[in-house]
Structure 1
Amino acid sequence: MKPLKITLIIIAFVSFWSCKKTENYQVGVDLRDSVYIYSKELYLWTDRMPDIFDFKPKNYSTAEDVISVVKTYSPVLNGKYVDRFSFVQRKSEWDNVSAGNRVDYGCGYRFISENDLRISFVYANSAAGKQGIQRGWRLLKVNDIVPDNSTTTVSQLNTALFNSTNITILFRKNDGSEVTITLTPQTYTANFILDKRVIDNNGKKVAYLMFNSFLGGNGGKDTEAELTQAFDFFASQGATELVVDLRYNGGGYVFLAKYLCNLIAPASAKGKVMFTERWNSRYSEFDETSYFDNSSGKLNLSRVVFITTSSTASASELTINSLKPYLDVKIIGSATAGKPVGFPVLPIIMDRTNANANYVVAPVAFQSFNANNFGDYFEGLTPDKLQIDDVSRNFGDVNEACLKDALNFLTTGVLQRNIENTQELFVTKEANEVFNKEHHGTIKLMNPKIFIKK
């Protein structure tokens, strides 16, 4: 009944304000007004927001400007607004992103030193994947650009790698050989399990899962099927330990986070609290507690290791935080993004005959807390062992820095405290912004078809 209830309230709210005006401001059929109205109604910190006549959405140039201002009504932590996540996007773009449908070269990029740019991941079905490009390959030249992490060069690389119709790259492979490859963007559906294997680790079988997103086709059901197959494979191989690599996983659907939690959780968690969502005071009836299934746990685990970076966010953090009360959870890598909040993604239909005129808005609407009532990790979940993202080695390589630490811990029960080197210290702010482009979130499925503009 939640979707119907929230719809009736929003329709009444929109209809009421559509008829209102003051001497200085009139509410009308305008995308900027709609973004404000949905945000004012659902925003987790709605009590901090002014009414529409004081806010005056149409005084801003774009809907994106409106949502940027909305975010300034969130609390401030260490000089920064905690809401870095609410967004507005064209509906057609969002539909493709959420389904994993892409038109690009199909790989990620990351600097490991001032002039050493590497492939960080590759989607198998993409142009890069079909050419056999692998994580760890070094980009020696991109068209005529020799990579370095200066602001000017990063801007040029951004254009070449993300906004071009073809590209020629000189690579140095992991074996030291060099190859030149020309790529053209292709339409493909991303596979979000980038690697799965069982590793023999000093007589113990360790399952390794590199999981890149909680999104996917058919509303995430395709990814659910991938996860099922992965854990069936782990169980069939007799795995008794687990390493989950979420280093680039920016989140996605809440139901997939719950599904992964159930696959990992021990039998002792059956029927117990997984997490609780808390909405704003207007929608406190939406507060909801999720519980572990009675079928929880395929591997009979007592501990689990997660690999993380600052790109690990939202549904990824929800998964880690929800399992902490029930398992010995260890985190290796760097602190996560710090996103204990989520949102429904709501369509704003401006023109039913023109898809490009329609948008979605996603104001932060709820915060999640685990069974120990912990959910204030806006500065990220802290790793038990700091370690670099060792982009010089492929996923599943037992000598990759994070996985090596994980396997050592699963053998000895000890995590060394020192960080082994400082690759990430060379990465500039601009480079981080350019080469971490995945935009996900913790997405609440609430029958979005009924969230249509007045």
Structure 2
Amino acid sequence: MPIIKRFYITGLLIIIALAGLTSCNDDDAHNPNIDANNWIYDVMKEVYYWTDEIPANVNRGQDPSNFFHQLLSDDDRFSAIVPDYQELKNALSGVSKEAGYEFALARVENSNDVVAIILYVKKDSPADDAGLKRGDVISQINGTTITIDNYRQLISETYNNHSIKYKRYSEESDEYIDKGTLTLNAVVVSENPNFMDTVYAVGSKKIGYYVYNFFSPGTNKTTVYDNEMDQVIANFKSQGIDALILDLRYNSGGAVTSAQNLASLVGSGVNSSKIFYKNQYNDLYQNYFNNQPDGDEALRAHFLDKAENIGNEIGGELYILTGSRTASASELIINGLDPYMHVTIIGDTTVGKNVGSFPIENTKDPNIHYGLLPIVFKIFNSQDYSGYDNGFTPLGENLVNDFRQPMLQLGDIQEPLLARAIELIEGTSVGGRKPRIESKEFTPIMTSIDKKRRTNRLIIEGLKSN
């Protein structure tokens, strides 16, 4: 018999039939992996976007993580399984145990040594309290020099209490100054995605600048972060900005509802009658929703009516700063707004994630703690465009590398991505043709953002399965 389950999609309560669970026989009871893998298989057969490609004969006695990955399509770069669902939920809301800084790893020229360059520091974290800044260069962790051979092990140590040896660039002396050794505690950090907002008066323009680092409505099922987003845009409106720069360079995705809120705040001429995006599911889900009187709400999401909207004030022009980690819900902002306004992207090519997930937990069996993030839908804009599998690439001189040394602080009008956006808005170069700091580009080995559970996620809450 099918099991009837309920879940919410963009605020709509949907009732859908999920296939019954496959039970194991007594001979299999000694292997605890079988129950978990039976559950995983049944869920994937129901919800997975590429359900027709799931192999029938996969060893159900193996480790559930290995089992899950053997079910995936060759076209799937993003489905994920985690050992603990609550850990997954915390990570999607920006809650994790850490010291509070994100970094990129770079190899030292003509050496096997590696350094960690801080990208940004989270407010009110141990790293913030200790005075760490963007651009600081870490050469040792727990007394050991980082190298190409040991960086994976040393990076894992930063999720617990640890020490770092680091340097900071001095503009005055044009060199890196040794800052010694610093001990940092790893604590539970609730990161606020609303990282920075300010207004610049440049020439004849008043320019709003907003750094938003992931999409989450708030922790503990609140909308505190979305409410703060509303206030940021309301403040821009009250200050009379006529141009907006949205910095998503480190934003690797998150909740679709927060993307919907942001797009509704900045889109030009948008309201609840206009379509923001469309979802395409597997045949089972697509047919189900098509046959429901209110199924349109699961297949198409509209903009919200927001009194704070500044689309007209900014003249139907939006400048978005991107990076090689910009993904998912960030790319939805670009694609979803494109039919309604001119979107200029500046920075690096984005990831290219036009598919999304439900976070799924098992609520019936207390022994199965896994959380699943399978790809469940493909997403399109109102003009049925979804062709950004290879990402969005800035054009011409708008292709600007964020990874460089020394790094200017976010919000500094000579920081290269921000400077290019202001140049396009004002029509003149910021600070003259020669920047005050000559920097050198580098290609990161990896970044700490890559390790986040929320990275490359486009999330609709919250499907539960037995």
Q: Same fold (TM over 0.5)?
A: yes
CA distance in 2, matches of 1:91, 1:281: 27
Count of aligned residue pairs for this structure pair: 419
Task: Give 1:78's aligned residue.
Answer: none
Q: Say if 1:349 and 1:358, in contact at 8 Å, map to a contact too.
A: no
Q: Does 1:161 align with 2:158?
A: yes
Superposition CA RMSD, Å:
3.0
TM-score between both structures, scaled by the size of structure 2: 0.82
Change (3 A) 1:363 1:220: farther
SS at match of 1:179: strand
Q: Say if 2:136 and 2:166, in contact at 8 Å, map to a contact too.
A: no
**How far is 1:83 from its partner?**
2.9
Give the unaligned 5+ runs of structure 1. 75-80, 415-419
- 1:46-445 equivalent positions in 2, closer than 5 A: 46-51=51-56, 54-58=57-61, 61-71=62-72, 73-74=73-74, 81-111=75-105, 114=108, 115-148=114-147, 150=148, 152-162=149-159, 164-175=160-171, 176-180=176-180, 181-215=182-216, 216-219=218-221, 221-267=223-269, 271-284=273-286, 285-286=288-289, 288-295=299-306, 297-300=309-312, 301=314, 302-349=316-363, 351-352=365-366, 357-384=368-395, 385-390=398-403, 392-412=407-427, 423-425=441-443, 427=444, 431-432=445-446, 436-440=450-454, 441-445=457-461
CA distance in 2, matches of 1:107, 1:220: 24
CA distance in 2, matches of 1:261, 1:289: 15
CA distance in 1, matches of 2:276, 2:452: 26
Question: Percentage identity across aligned positions?
Answer: 26
CA distance in 1, matches of 2:305, 2:152: 51
CA distance in 2, matches of 1:399, 1:28: 55
CA distance in 1, matches of 2:414, 2:99: 28
Q: Say if 1:275 and 1:289, in contact at 8 Å, map to a contact too.
A: yes
Greater alpha carbon shift after TM alignment, 220-229 vs 250-259: 220-229
**How far is 1:118 from its partner?**
1.3
Q: Say if 2:169 and 2:177, in contact at 8 Å, map to a contact too.
A: yes
Q: Which has the higher helix share?
A: 1
**How far is 1:105 from its partner?**
0.7
**How far is 1:298 from its partner?**
2.5
Cα deviation, 1:84-139, whole Å, max 9, x if unaligned, reads: 33333411211321232221111111145635531111111211012221111122
TM-score between both structures, scaled by the size of structure 1: 0.84
**How far is 1:6 from its partner?**
6.9
CA distance in 2, matches of 1:28, 1:65: 11
Letter of the 1:155 partner, please give it: R
Change (3 A) 1:313 1:165: same
Task: Give 1:77's aligned residue.
Answer: none
Greater alpha carbon shift after TM alignment, 362-371 vs 85-94: 85-94
**How far is 1:14 from its partner?**
2.4
Greater alpha carbon shift after TM alignment, 169-178 vs 403-412: 169-178
SS at match of 1:182: strand
Change (3 A) 1:383 1:89: farther
CA distance in 2, matches of 1:102, 1:169: 23
Letter of the 1:14 partner, please give it: G
SS at match of 1:118: strand
Task: Give 1:3's aligned residue.
Answer: 7
CA distance in 1, matches of 2:24, 2:63: 22
Change (3 A) 1:111 1:55: closer
CA distance in 1, matches of 2:32, 2:134: 51
**How far is 1:28 from its partner?**
9.2
CA distance in 1, matches of 2:449, 2:371: 24
Change (3 A) 1:57 1:382: farther
CA distance in 2, matches of 1:299, 1:323: 11
SS at match of 2:350: coil
Change (3 A) 1:186 1:174: farther
SS at match of 2:261: helix
CA distance in 2, matches of 1:137, 1:27: 47
SS at match of 1:267: coil
Letter of the 2:42 partner, please give it: I
Cα deviation, 1:162-201, whole Å, max 9, x if unaligned, reads: 3x43223333255554423211112231111221111122
